């Protein structure tokens, strides 16, 4: 029988528009034109100015032949230009390709070629890096140089187009392009990929709209919140916060460099209410000299990801006036799509129990329809016992379009109707997930899986350990056994025997590292520990 609710009731221009976060800025600039959108040092920009400059950028790009489906790259710090790129680039129909500023020239060259970049907007401090990359790349994008007024180093005197001059040629009233479909791409972000070529994660307008709103809803971010840019915007588009802030008419406080003194100054002087970062950012703030710290007369929300926040750090942050929320996600999920949604009564528990609960990654964002821990062979959920390892999988509207020009990787990632994260975790009885390892980081000893994270956590509880990374090393009898690399805290001293004894007191015997190596821990450009290089070193050990 005909469903009359689908008869003569079609989509039309009056009742259907593509979802896109670009409309957030248009609304903010229309309703609160004078509200401060951007703070950067002494610079203050209103929403009217932010919108006009973004339209100028879109217009100038259009005049340079950039249009739908073209890639525009940004090699920028957390500056106003980077915020303008998040609107101006998609406003001309193009796709924003933000480049991690810590990458080497070869990887940047690979990205520019793979994304077929037509134009690059680059911070003048990064011009030499870009020049090196362009020397290696096949593409020859137009280069636009941004001179950040907050950069106090020597400026490049290369003869390239200036960002402000480029913008001045654009029309501030440019009739910017809506996406033709909300499924159109808004950005591409390359995963850092410790092995193999980087993959280009394509995000669409619909997902960016939903995750940007999801951030505000999930974190109860109210109208006129003030957000400090400690999280790099090249990292999954700053977890979509460049768009979230326009939705709630908030204020961006830019930050060229993540240092303790300007962070504390912004918190106190600009009335920052929210910021994001890995636990290392919290450590940086807490361990700052007392002279750099400031008293805050308001509670600040800190959203952390990448690693579970240790108990001592949580206690220190609470003491300093912060509420810490643990988030989790991947570039493939627009940044955070999982939140450790806190239960009020958990705050009554002893600090150690709170830290244990807060170490869990948590539950799906409202904008994510599905999150589970599945056996990747059978695609069945693991028991909700907090013990059984499985692969964390996502499904929903804040999962990427796929990998650019890589249909094989896309198909593999979406096999069985779920996005396979590659992260191993458990499902607790209350439905909260907890990561235990990356698939490739698991250590298999005598047929038993050992979570490298569990061994690391035991080591982190030792007072002398600053940083540790545990990987597999070969073992004649058991196949593999854990090998721990350790950086000690300044002024602390402990030897291998003492740390192994500590582990014997805190872990099952087969999980005790066969070897403890004291060494600086190598990290990737984004601050992730480079386990692959440690694995290579450990491969030469035997127990």
Q: Which residues of the shown chain bind its own copies in the complex (CB under 8 A)?
A: 1, 3-17, 19, 23-24, 27, 30-32, 68-69, 95, 116, 183-185, 188, 202, 207, 213, 216-217, 220, 222-224, 247-248, 341, 343-344, 363-364, 366, 369-370, 394-397, 399-402, 404-405, 407, 410, 413-414, 417-419, 431
Gap between the Cα atoms of 457 and 474, Å rounded: 22
Query: Using CA of residue 308, residue 312, residue 314, residue 316, what is the dihedral sign?
Result: negative
Torsion of CA 376, 377, 378, 381, to 10 degrees: -30
Sequence-distant (≥ 6) Cβ neighbours of residue 261 within 8 angstroms: 288, 292
Gap between the Cα atoms of 198 and 405, Å rounded: 12
Phi, psi angles (nearest 5°) of residue 533: -75, -35
Burial of 372 (0-12, 13-18, 19+ CB in 10 A): buried
Gap between the Cα atoms of 540 and 519, Å rounded: 16
Q: How far is the CB of 338 from its own copies (least distance, A)?
A: 11
| 133-141 contact pairs (CB < 8 A, 24+) | 133/105, 133/106, 133/108, 133/109, 134/109, 135/105, 135/109, 136/105, 136/106, 136/109, 137/108, 137/109, 137/112, 137/113, 138/113, 139/112, 139/113, 141/73, 141/112, 141/117
Q: Which helix (H) or strand (E) holds 518?
A: strand 515-518
Which residue, among 70, 121, 69, 68, has the nearest Cα to 99 in the 3D structure? 121
In the bound state with its own copies, the residue whose beta carbon lies nearer, of 4 and 348, is 4
Query: How many C-beta atoms surround the C-beta of residue 247 within 10 A?
Result: 22
**Is 124:156 a contact under the CB 8 Å cutoff?**
yes
In the bound state with its own copies, the residue whose beta carbon lies nearer, of 52 and 455, is 52
Q: HSE on the CB side for 492, CA within 13 Å?
A: 16
Gap between the Cα atoms of 123 and 128, Å rounded: 10
Gap between the Cα atoms of 402 and 300, Å rounded: 35
Gap between the Cα atoms of 134 and 128, Å rounded: 10
Gap between the Cα atoms of 119 and 62, Å rounded: 11
Question: Which three-class secondary structure state does DSSP give residue 261?
Answer: helix
Q: Which helix (H) or strand (E) holds 316?
A: helix 311-319
Greatest CA separation found in the chain? 79
Gap between the Cα atoms of 224 and 118, Å rounded: 36
Which residue, among 88, 85, 89, has the nearest Cα to 76 in the 3D structure? 85
> Strand 380-381's sheet: what is its strand order?
380-381, 370-375, 390-395, 419-427, 433-438
Q: Pairing state of beta strands 443-445 and 448-450? A: antiparallel
């Amino acid at each position: 029988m005909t469903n009359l609710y689908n008869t003569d009731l079609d989509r039309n221009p009056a009742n259907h528009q593509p979802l896109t976060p670009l409309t957030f800025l248009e609304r903010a600039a229309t309703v609160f034109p004078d509200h401060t959108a951007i703070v950067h040092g002494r610079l203050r920009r209103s929403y009217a100015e932010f919108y006009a400059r973004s339209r100028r950028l879109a217009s100038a790009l259009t005049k340079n032949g950039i249009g739908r489906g073209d890639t525009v790259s940004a090699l920028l710090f957390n500056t106003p230009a980077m915020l303008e790129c998040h609107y101006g680039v998609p406003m001309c129909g193009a796709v924003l390709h933000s480049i991690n500023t810590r990458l080497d020239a070869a990887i940047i060259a690979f990205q520019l070629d793979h994304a077929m970049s037509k134009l690059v907007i680059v911070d003048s401090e990064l011009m030499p890096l870009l020049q090196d990359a362009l020397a290696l790349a096949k593409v020859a994008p137009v280069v636009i140089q941004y001179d950040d007024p907050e950069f106090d180093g020597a400026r490049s005197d290369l003869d390239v187009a200036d960002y402000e001059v480029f913008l001045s040629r654009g029309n501030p009233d440019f009739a910017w392009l809506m996406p033709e479909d909300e499924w159109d791409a808004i950005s591409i972000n390359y995963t850092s990929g410790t092995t193999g070529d980087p993959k280009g994660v394509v995000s669409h307008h619909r997902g960016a709209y939903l995750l940007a709103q999801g951030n505000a809803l999930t974190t109860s971010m109210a109208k006129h919140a003030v957000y400090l840019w400690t999280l790099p915007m090249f990292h999954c588009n700053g977890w979509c916060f460049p768009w979230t802030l326009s939705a709630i008419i908030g204020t961006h406080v830019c930050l060229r460099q993540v240092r303790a003194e300007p962070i504390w100054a912004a918190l106190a002087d600009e009335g920052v209410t929210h910021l994001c970062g890995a636990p290392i950012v919290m450590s940086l703030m807490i361990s700052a000299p007392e002279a750099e710290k400031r008293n805050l007369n308001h509670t600040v929300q800190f959203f952390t990801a990448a690693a579970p926040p240790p108990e001592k750090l949580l206690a220190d942050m609470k003491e300093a006036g912060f509420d810490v929320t643990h988030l989790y996600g991947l570039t493939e999920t627009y940044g955070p799509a999982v939140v450790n949604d806190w239960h009020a009564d958990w705050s009554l528990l002893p600090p150690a129990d709170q830290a244990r609960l807060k170490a869990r990654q948590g539950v799906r964002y409202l904008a994510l329809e599905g999150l589970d821990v599945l056996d990747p062979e059978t695609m069945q959920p693991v028991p909700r016992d907090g013990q059984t390892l499985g692969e964390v999988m996502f499904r929903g509207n804040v999962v990427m379009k796929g990998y650019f020009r890589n249909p094989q990787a896309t198909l593999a990632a979406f096999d069985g109707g779920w996005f396979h994260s590659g992260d191993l975790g458990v499902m607790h009885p209350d439905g909260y997930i907890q990561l235990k390892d990356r698939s490739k980081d698991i250590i298999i000893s005598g047929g038993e899986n050992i979570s490298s994270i569990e061994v690391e956590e035991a080591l982190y509880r030792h007072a002398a350990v600053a940083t540790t990374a545990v990987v597999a090393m070969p073992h004649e009898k058991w196949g593999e056994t854990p090998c721990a690399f350790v950086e000690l805290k300044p002024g602390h001293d402990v030897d291998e025997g003492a740390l192994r004894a500590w582990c014997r007191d805190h872990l099952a015997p087969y999980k005790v590292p066969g070897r403890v190596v004291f060494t600086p821990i190598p990290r990737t450009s984004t601050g992730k520990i480079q386990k692959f290089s440690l694995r290579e070193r450990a491969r030469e050990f035997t127990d």
